[in-house]
Amino acid sequence: MSTSEKQSVALVSMAASAVLAGSKFLAAMFTGSLGILSEAIHSLIDFGATIVTYFAIRWSDQPADDEHHYGHAKIESVAALVETALLFLTTAWIVWEALSRLYGGEQHNVEVTWWAVAIIAGSIIIDYNRARALKRVAEKTSSEALEADALHFSSDMWSSIVVLGGLGAVWAGIPAADSIAALVVSGFVARAGWQLGARTMNTLLDAAPAGATSIVRDIVLDTHGVLTIKSIRLRPSGATMFASIVVEVARTMPIDEIVRVKDAIQDRVQERFPNADITVTANPVTLDNESVFQKVMLIASRRNLAIHHLTVQQLDGKLAVSFDLEVEGSMPLGEAHETATILEDAIRSELGSDAEVESHIEPQPERMLEGHDAAPALAAEVTASLMELTAPFARLTEIHNIRLRRNEEGLFLHYHCRCLPGETVEKIHDDIDRVEAGLKERYPDIRRVIAHAEPLGHRKHAL
C-alpha cells in the first residue's frame, strides 16, 4: 500500500464526512430531531477528525531523520488521541441534551419527513462503505489514524440506524423515542471513543502488541546456542514493530557462531513479524563448567595470539600452566617478551594470582613460503629412511602420500599413515614424534615433518 493511496483514502473520507455532516444538519433544522442533530454533530466531529487524519498521515509517512530515529509514525497516535477526546465531548453533549428533553419538561416537536429519512438511510450506506474501505487500508498499513476514522464511520452507521428507528417510533406516536435514540447514539459514540483511546494510549505508552512478547520469547529460547534471555523490548510505531532482544551465550562460543545465533533469531522473528525492525545483542558469559584449557585458549584467542602444546598441572593445590606462544619470527625479543608477559598476566587474573604461568616463545612465519619438490634422488632417500624408521612402530602402518618439498627454511616432509581406530591420539603422536626425531638426526636440513594419521578401514585421504 503506497503513501499516496493512504492519503487518497483519507481525502475521500474527508469529503464524505463533509457531505454527511451538512445533510444531517439540514435535516435536523427542519425536523427538530435531537437524534438527527446528535448525528449531525457526530458527523461534523468526524469531518474535523478526517482533516486531522489526513495531515497526520502526510506527516507520519516522512522517513526517519537525525532527530527522529524511529520515524514519525506516532503522530498518527496523537491524531487518534485528539479524535478520542472529540468523541467523548460529543457523547457528553448528546447525553445532556437528551436528558434535558426527557426530564426538563420542555416540549420538542419532531417532524418526520421522507427526505429526512432518506438522508439518514443514505448516510448509513455511505458510512458502511467508508468504514470498510478505511478498515482495509488501516489493516494493510497498521495506520492508527485510518483505523480511528474507520471506527468513526462504523459508529456513525450504527447510530444512524438507531436514529432511523427513533424517527419511526416518533412517527408512530412516541415523542420520547427521539431523545431515547439520541442516548443510544451516545452509547455507540462513547464505546467507540473508549476502544480508540485504549488502543492509542497503548501505542503512546509503547505497549507491546498483544501476544507478541510470548511469541518472540518462544522463538528466541528455541534457538540453538542461546543460554538465557536478558530482555525483550517490543514497541509499535505505525506499521513497524521495533524489537530489541538481548540474550546470553557461552563466551567460549566462536565469534562466527555467535553471529549465526544472532542471525537465526533475527530471521525467525522477521518471518513471524515481517514489519519488525529487529536488533539482537548477544552477551558472552562465563559458564560454571568451563575447563582451565577452555579459559586459557579463550584468553589467547581474544588477543589474537596463537598458542599450542598447552599443559595444565595440579601441583599441591596450585595450578601450573605452560604453553608455546607463536609470534612473528622477525619480532624483537623485547617486544615478544612483553606480548608473552601480558598474556601470562591475563591468564593469572582469570585463574588466580597464585597460578604458575609460563610460556615458550617460538617463531611463526606470517609470510608465504615459495617452495618446490625436492630432487628425486633425495626424495627417494628420505622416503626409504621414513619407511625404515616407522617399521618398528606397530601403530603406524600403510605409509603413503609421501612428499618432500624444499623452501627457504629447509626441507618439509609430508606423509600419511594408517592406525587402529581404537588407538589413542597421545600414543600415536608419541610414535610420530620419535620418527620425526630420527629423520631430523639423519637429515639436519629437515625443518618440519607433518604426519597425517588416518584410521584403518577408512578411505585413504586423497590429495
Would you state the pLDDT for residue 2?
A: 44
Q: Is the pLDDT of residue 129 over 90?
A: no
Distance (Å, whole) CA 124 – CA 130: 10
Residue 447 has phi, psi (to 5 degrees) of -85, -45
Predicted confidence (pLDDT) per residue in 325-358, tens digit: 998 878 888 999 999 999 999 999 988 888 899 9
**Within 283-424, where are the H helices?**
292-302, 333-351, 376-390
Spatial distance between the Cα atoms of 91 and 352, rounded to a whole number of angstroms: 73
Percentage above 90 pLDDT, the chain: 31
Instruction: Report d(CA 26, CA 40) in Å as an integer.
Output: 9
Amino acid 101: pLDDT: 66
Q: Quick one: what percent of the chain has pLDDT higher than 70?
A: 70
Task: Give the position of cell 492509542.
Answer: 200
Burial of 229 (0-12, 13-18, 19+ CB in 10 A): middle
Q: What CATH architecture applies to the domain 292-363?
A: 2-Layer Sandwich (3.30)
376 against 83, higher pLDDT: 376
CA distance 74 to 236: 9
> Given a cut of 60, is residue 378 above it in pLDDT?
yes
Q: Label residue 400 by pLDDT band (50, 70, 90).
A: very high
Q: How confident is the model at residue 122 (pLDDT cuts 50, 70, 90)?
A: confident
Say how far apart CA 290 and CA 282 lie, in whole Å: 19
Domain ranges across the chain:
3-204, 212-285, 292-363, 372-455
pLDDT of residue 107: 46
CA angle 43, 44, 48 (to 5 degrees): 115
**What element of type H or E holds 311?**
strand 306-315
What does the pLDDT average to over 233-242?
77
pLDDT band at 210 (very low <50, low <70, confident <90, very high): confident
Within this chain, domains 3-204 and 292-363 share the same CATH topology: no
Identify the residue whose cell numbers are 610460556.
359
Tell me how far apart the 2 most distant CA atoms of the chain are, in Å.
128
The more confident residue out of 462 and 245 is 245
User: Nearest-CA neighbor of 292 among 260, 263, 314?
Assistant: 314
Q: At what angle do helices 114-141 and 34-60 cross, to 10 degrees?
A: 30
Q: Would you say 44 and 86 are in contact if contact means Cβ atoms under 8 Å apart?
A: no
pTM for the model: 0.51
With bands split at pLDDT 50, 70 and 90, how would you rate the model's confidence at 445?
very high
pLDDT(276) > 70: yes
Reduce the DSSP state of residue 61 to 3 states and report it.
coil
- pLDDT score recorded for residue 10: 64
What was the pLDDT predicted at 266?
94
Fold classification of 3-204 (topology level): Alpha-lytic protease prodomain-like (1.20.1510)
DSSP H helices, 142-284, are 144-171, 177-204, 212-221, 255-272
User: What is the residue-wise DSSP string for 331-352?
Assistant: S-HHHHHHHHHHHHHHHHHHH-
Top mean-pLDDT range of 114-118, 217-221, 309-313: 217-221
Q: What is the pLDDT of residue 301?
A: 86
* Residue 280 clears pLDDT 90, i.e. is over it: yes
Res. 460: pLDDT tops 60: no
Q: Please tell me which of 65-69, 188-192, 209-213, 231-235 the model is most confident about, judged by mean pLDDT.
A: 231-235
Of the candidates 318, 301, 308, 258, the residue with the CA atom closest to the CA atom of residue 283? 258
Whole-number pLDDT of residue 24: 72
Say whether pLDDT at 411 is over 90.
Answer: yes
Residue 57 confidence class, pLDDT cut points 50, 70, 90: low
pLDDT category of residue 274 using cuts at 50, 70 and 90: confident
| Nearest partner of 457 among 416, 431, 420, judged by Cα | 420
- CATH code, 372-455: 3.30.70.1350
State the Cα–Cα distance between residues 65 and 405, nearest whole angstrom. Answer: 61
Per-residue pLDDT, 118: 78
Q: What gap in Å lies between CA 12 and CA 123, rounded to an integer?
A: 15
pLDDT score of 240:
74
The superfamily CATH assigns to domain 212-285 is Cation efflux protein, cytoplasmic domain (3.30.70.1350)
- The H-assigned helical ranges of 172-225 are 177-204, 212-221
β-strand partners of 71: none
The pLDDT value given to residue 46: 67
Angle at 431 between CA 425 and CA 433, to 5 degrees: 100
Can you give the pLDDT at residue 75? 62
Q: Does residue 15 carry a pLDDT above 90?
A: no
Q: What digits encode the pLDDT tens for the residues 96-119?
A: 767 776 776 554 555 556 666 777
Residues 6+ apart with CB under 8 A from 301: none
Give the separation between CA 418 and CA 452, rounded to whole angstroms. 9
Asked if residues 38 and 179 have their Cβ atoms less than 8 Å apart, the reply is no
Mean pLDDT for all residues in the chain: 80
pLDDT digit string, tens, across residues 251-260: 888 888 999 9
